[in-house]
Amino acid sequence: MSPLLLFVLGIALLTLGGELLVKNAALLARALGMPPLVVGLTVVAFGTSAPELAASLAAALEGAPGIAYGNVVGSNLANLGLVLGLAALIRPLRVEARFLRREAPFMVAVALLLAVSVWDGVVDRWEGAFFLFLLAGYLYLLLGDREPPEVLAEFAGAYGKGARRLVYRLFLLGLGVLFLTLGARSLVAGAVALAAALGVPDRVIGLSVVALGTSLPELAAALVAVLRREGDILLGNLIGSNVFNVLGILGTVALVKPLVLGTPPAFDLAALLLLSGLAWAFLWTGRRLGRREGALLFLLYLGYVGWIYS
């Protein structure tokens, strides 16, 4: 099978697997009594990052650390520039949830932590363990969060249904994991072959093509949320996904196999810090993301992608 077909097949399997995983995990979590707000910010937000986790872990084990790292950073950039930017262009987003304005600076702090961690060109096992420890603390604080009734009602409308036919949901959940595993192997194999054929570093492929492919679940969820005027859900999913991408995915990957990246990718980290900081500033100062802010985020993302290929 050609590298391009392997890559496309991998994206298709990752998208289908991620959808099965997110939907059925959310229903099961609600059936077990988890509050809808927590389901939205944890199960759904982290579940949409499952393709990134599968692809990055597979890339690291296949000896392609550039793709593993590039996929995480590129996915975070795509979430902020492509997904959030397009969503705000379609319909301005208003924010009611206090936790979003509080979690946004935490997202920026996680990006800073990533920059410090990879500056020596290596992400060791102890750094991966620290990332996972920090993620556990973040989740503990999140579970004790309280929001206004209107925000809780918004999340309850999206994730408030209980799970029926428990065995059936568990089967679909397992099927989603299987599709994610197969899709990750296919995507990484195709991406490595494409990088060799095009003569570009695997880091660039990971930052752009692989990251865009694994960000499809976030893009689909964002478009649905913005059309339903569920701005808190959209932003909660994206912020939760960006936090999990760094702490959960890179933490897990580094714990399994330390990432040796070589030269510190300063430009990629600067772009991530810039987009993260802008998103935080927009949320903090205006409590909304208008079309002008969305256009700025989207254009900066396009400029970044153009730069890394120039």
Model confidence band, residue 120 (pLDDT cutoffs 50, 70, 90): confident
pTM for the structure as a whole: 0.77
What residues contact residue 221 under an 8 Å CB cut-off, 6+ apart? Answer: 22, 44, 48, 234, 237
pLDDT single digits (tens) 129-164 = 999 999 989 888 776 666 566 665 655 565 555 555
| Per-domain boundaries in the chain | 3-309
Question: Is residue 251 a contact partner of residue 132, using CB atoms and an 8 Å limit?
Answer: yes
Radius of gyration of the chain (CA): 18
Question: Is residue 78 a contact partner of residue 208, using CB atoms and an 8 Å limit?
Answer: no
Q: Which class in CATH covers the domain with range 3-309? A: mainly alpha
Least confident of 9-13, 170-174, 213-217, 264-268: 213-217
Least confident of 155-169, 207-221, 257-271: 155-169
What residues contact residue 245 under an 8 Å CB cut-off, 6+ apart? Answer: 49, 52, 72, 75, 76
pLDDT single digits (tens) 246-266 = 999 899 888 888 888 777 677
Model confidence band, residue 299 (pLDDT cutoffs 50, 70, 90): very high
CA–CA separation, 97 and 299 (whole Å) = 27
Least confident of 19-33, 117-131, 244-258, 280-294: 19-33
